Structure 1
């Protein structure tokens, strides 16, 4: 026999995992095994594993002759799922045997409190179990197991969901309303109508099959100036519907040469509107090393006005400042050479809070005016300090309600829609507002911790499909805990590696395993560093800069921190600033130019 759980009586158990307390209930006469192929004796029949991560293997097994082996990647946690029919207002028990590091077993869609159990390390077969109760209208739940991004493969066997059986699930209807939005040069956005009873969808493009959980997606990796056909089907535990009627869309030509960033780019801020100890640098004097030049800064007329203004540094402060005409001509020359020039909004002194729809609309209007006047390529968001502040109602980065957050998201999406695929969007938050969300986010009993910690996460998450680059400022920061649960201090390779690894791997927000901040693509990540000791706390010596790049892109020259993957497509570095790099004899940019990727 594979196992005896089908006839065994349930025993009482009390579990306390991640703050969840679950008490097992006694099985009733109507209780039965509901998981299909929980022992994987029929391969992956009944199961769906993300990114093709799962396979049935013959060793090791807990019982019978087969078990599940699932292998996470840097951007995927190897989640294997099965939809199970259940009855409303009923008690159920989930159990199974696992082996490996970071293995989770749980259930979602319960209509009450979703339940899970996990182990950070199981060198031999270990049993996980938990219980849950369905809501008043719940008729199906999703049984799942998964590992952790970039870690070793895990094994699972003899998975069980035990309790009263529900009505059979019917295959969902064929989706309707499939439409294509405005294509980019390499992507096409798709939308369709929801199908009752569907738990997921599959988008078909040629031989590609793309699993989707919602009713929209952006198909990427396409070729410019090419026509594509798309279809979508609906799925649930009973199977897959027929494919929808096809919709066609043609990608754009990609615009003028040099629209895309190079595979590895150097981003720098140019002090165009103010003077400091670094001295003024004319746009025409910026070396070709810099692929993205952020004009620092566009600043608000008041904190809450949303009205952004930009002008060149006054001649009384910057005697060598160029004329506006010379400045615009230099921007055009940079763009002709394939460089991108953006307006950066905010900075240390430019506090911006879009707390009203009026401020939101003023932001869009005024930023558009700056972009149009100077012929710029996009926008850099450098909100610092109190520009983003969460109220006690925001505890989930996936669904923010605070106006300063939602208005910013809406404003940026409006700008993106106005300028299209060529619009470049970058962000430069501080580690406090991003990585510190691993420990603290929103309101709650955080021991006095500032509730603004991690407050950039809802903005980054909402705009991740529009985001060209995220270059978190790895400077002027206190110690931050990495995914190794160790604190790392700025100014060395380990700090940069640990902070970047979090964005490339994903992490549970405020330690809540049900709220995982998904990883960004490697080509969306650049690492922010000060160009000199005068530019900010946390200056990193060139040798440590190179160690950082070696470890993240090649998995060599790593220090004490062990990454969860290797990312050759890491976009590059950002520095504050071009002016300070010039002051420091161009040490930062020359080191970047000399680095071998």
Structure 2
């Protein structure tokens, strides 16, 4: 079993054994001789033209040409990704290249996949090509590093293809602000089977920006399109990270013009429920850190969440814990019997809520791949030096698998993840979604240990989480690629390079961030996928 260690030389050797560089051109060749469409491609003007997360800056050494280059240092779940959106022409072929150094460096165009290299301290040219779809007029390119693998460097980025080259930007001494996309009871063992979804029963789950606007515009509850089956109210957030007290404060009129009154909001929820929809409170999100470190925080969580559910007459709860909400303490190595308080107390709180509201209570979870699929390689702090959050959702999912309605892992805002084929898969294409879904549908050995296997979930408990639009999150995948992935999983046909371990005809559906971004993008996600899912 191939495992990446924190030592750079071990990580490089592992990845070299697991992947080939078929998609990349790694040669000391000169860049293409056409107009470069990228703005500030050599970072001579700092980060002007780029939007970066985490620790990213323009440095004066090392550089390949000119006087500056990009330096990015991933920390925790952040990959120090820098992005730039560029105007392109429909149905046209482009070549994207960059010179890179570092342990792991990734280059890609969102919606068209990415390529990577591990060149160490030598400047190496990385290149990939793609063709824009009919009607596509912009593309977002990106570069980033990988979890725990140190600083990477990039210089001389080039996007070569039809279009008008930009002018030269003025130097800027300050970096662009970081982007904001937009998470011991004894566990019960394997569940009994349940009825399979009937045709037309596949689900579309969407998040509704109920407490903020986020640039995509406010959508009234009554105006949520009928295509959505589950409507998750984003977000309930804590009064402090460790209080356990959850508050749900609806978006103010100053931020969300046209927001309905409380009475209208509740009436619209009832109307959706009469139409067969489920309306859930989603807790967490990127900014909602919830750490139930004590039993007092656990009890406050149960009480305050119950008050919100009762106030609005909601159908259940979605757990979207991100950031540092969940982690594993040293020595907590068995997902079947966790000991870390934030994990144990969350399990206890969710069981209490399920018991309080009964069998009709809907429970969903939306973890990032870092907290689930990364557990195939890493689990908690391990032997030391690993991120303690790696795989930290696994004990929660396992303990609640008999109570869990849906798990829709976020197949976006993710670094490369090793699949069951021991190859790394990157966002934005069908293979990534097939590989990530296959892991929870087939099960996998935690930390590669065949004696410690995370059992598969029922097919009807699994949906795929996606951005509804290119602007909604990193890793946007076109409608065609998503449907290719679902067809492969459900029917076993049309698969690409990754072959799933089984065929999963009862895969439940798709989740999207978000209903608001879908409307902003002319309902491409909900309308296209609703018809497709109903026709499976």
* TM-score > 0.5 by shorter chain: yes
Cross-structure match for 1:455: 392
Which whole-Å CA distance do the structure 1 matches of 2:336 and 2:294 have between them? 21
- Which residue, out of 514, 533, 536, partners 1:577? 514
For 1:161, the equivalent position in structure 2 comes to none
Asked if 1:282 is matched to 2:282, the reply is no
Identify the match of residue 426 of structure 1 among 352, 364, 378.
Answer: 364
Q: Is the 8 A contact 2:443 2:456 kept in 1?
A: yes
Higher strand share: 1
Query: Does 2:202 align with 1:264?
Result: yes
**Aligned equivalent of 1:568, options 505, 525, 529:** 505
| Offset at residue 445 of structure 1 (A) | 2.9
**Post-superposition shift, 1:449?**
2.8
Q: Tell me which residue corresponds to 2:475.
A: 538
Q: Are 2:370 and 1:399 equivalent residues in the alignment? A: no
Could you tell me how far apart the structure 1 residues matched to 2:492 and 2:516 are?
32
Q: Which of 499, 522, 525 is matched with 2:436 structurally?
A: 499
**1-side partners of 2:218 and 2:2: how far apart?**
56
Residue in 2 that maps onto 1:119: none
Relative CO higher for 1 or 2, CA cutoff 8 Å, sep ≥ 6? Answer: 2
The corresponding residue for 1:514 is 451
Aligned match of 1:444? 382
Map of 1:102-141 to 2, 5 A cutoff? Answer: none
Contact conserved, 1:395 with 1:443, CA < 8 A, in 2?
A: no
SS at match of 1:495: helix
1:261–1:291 contact (8 Å) kept in structure 2 = no
Select the residue among 434, 441, 464 that pairs with 2:401: 464
Q: Which stretches of structure 1, 4 residues or longer, exceed 2 Å deviation after superposition?
A: 214-223, 260-263, 442-446
Q: Secondary structure at the residue paired with 1:514?
A: coil
Give RMSD over aligned pairs.
2.3
Q: Contact (CA 8 Å) 2:188, 2:402: kept in 1 or not?
A: no
Which whole-Å CA distance do the structure 1 matches of 2:458 and 2:195 have between them? Answer: 16
Counterpart of 1:483 in structure 2 is 420
Aligned-residue offset at 1:451: 2.5
Q: Which residue of 275, 290, 309 corresponds with 1:337?
A: 275
CA contact (8 A) 1:475 1:529 kept: yes
Distance apart, 1:221 and its partner CA: 4.6
Q: Is the 8 A contact 2:327 2:380 kept in 1?
A: no
Match of 2:525 among 588, 593, 597: 588
TM-score of the two chains, using structure 1 as the length reference: 0.57
* Equivalences, count: 351
| Other structure's SS at 1:460 match | helix
Q: Structure 1's 328 and 417: CA in aligned 2 closer, same or farther, altered over 3 A? A: same
Q: Secondary structure at the match of 2:358?
A: helix
Matched residues in 2 for 1:543 and 1:319: separation?
Answer: 34
Partner in structure 1 of residue 49 of structure 2: none
SS in 1 for 2:451: strand
The SS at the match of 2:237 is strand
1:360 and 1:285 map into 2 onto residues whose CA distance is: 35
Match in the other structure for 1:313: 251
CA distance in 2, matches of 1:402, 1:332: 39
Describe the superposition over 1:522-543 as per-residue Cα deviations: whole angstroms up to 9, x where unpaired: 1000000000110000000011
Tell me, in whole angstroms, the C-alpha distance in 1 between the residues paired with 2:493 and 2:461: 22
Quick check: 2:430–2:482 contact (8 Å CA) kept in 1? Answer: yes
Find the aligned partners of 1:432 and 1:398 in 2 and give their Cα distance: 19
1:387 equivalenced with 2:321 (yes/no): no
Equivalent residue for 2:309, pick from 371, 391, 398: 371
Q: Please tell me whether the aligned partners of residues 295 and 341 of structure 1 are also in contact (alpha carbons under 8 angstroms).
A: yes
In the alignment, structure 2 segments of 5+ residues that lack a partner are 4-186
- Give the conservation status (yes or no) of the 8 Å contact 2:336–2:399: yes
- 3-state SS of the aligned residue for 2:502? coil
Give 5+ residue unaligned stretches, structure 1. 1-15, 19-213, 224-259
- The alpha carbon displacement at 1:511 in A equals 0.7
Q: 2-side partners of 1:261 and 1:371: how far apart? A: 31
What are the superposed Cα offsets for residues 20-52 of structure 1, whole Å, 9 maximum, x if unpaired?
Answer: xxxxxxxxxxxxxxxxxxxxxxxxxxxxxxxxx
- Deviation readout 1:177-205 (Å, 9 max, x if unpaired): xxxxxxxxxxxxxxxxxxxxxxxxxxxxx
- CA–CA separation in structure 2 for the residues paired with 1:532 and 1:439: 30
Structure 1 residues 261 and 366, CA gap change in structure 2 (3 angstroms): farther
C-alpha distance in 1 between matches for 2:193 and 2:524: 37
- Relative to structure 1, the CA distance from residue 372 to residue 562 in structure 2 (aligned partners, 3 Å threshold; closer, same or farther) is same
Identify if the C-alpha distance between structure 1 residues 216 and 541 changes in structure 2 by more than 3 Å, giving closer, same or farther.
Answer: closer
Change (3 A) 1:549 1:220: closer
Separation in 2, partners of 1:215, 1:585: 43
1:413 aligns with 2:351: yes
Change in Cα spacing, 1:293 to 1:222, as seen in structure 2 (3 Å) is closer
The Cα of 1:443 is off from its aligned counterpart by 2.9
Query: Could you tell me how far apart the structure 2 residues matched to 1:221 and 1:582 are?
Result: 34
Name the structure 2 match of 1:195.
none
SS at match of 1:467: coil
Residues 434, 457 of structure 1: 8 Å contact kept: yes
8 Å CA contact 1:533–1:539 kept in 2: the answer is yes
**TM-score scaled by structure 2?**
0.63
Radius of gyration: which is bigger? Answer: 1
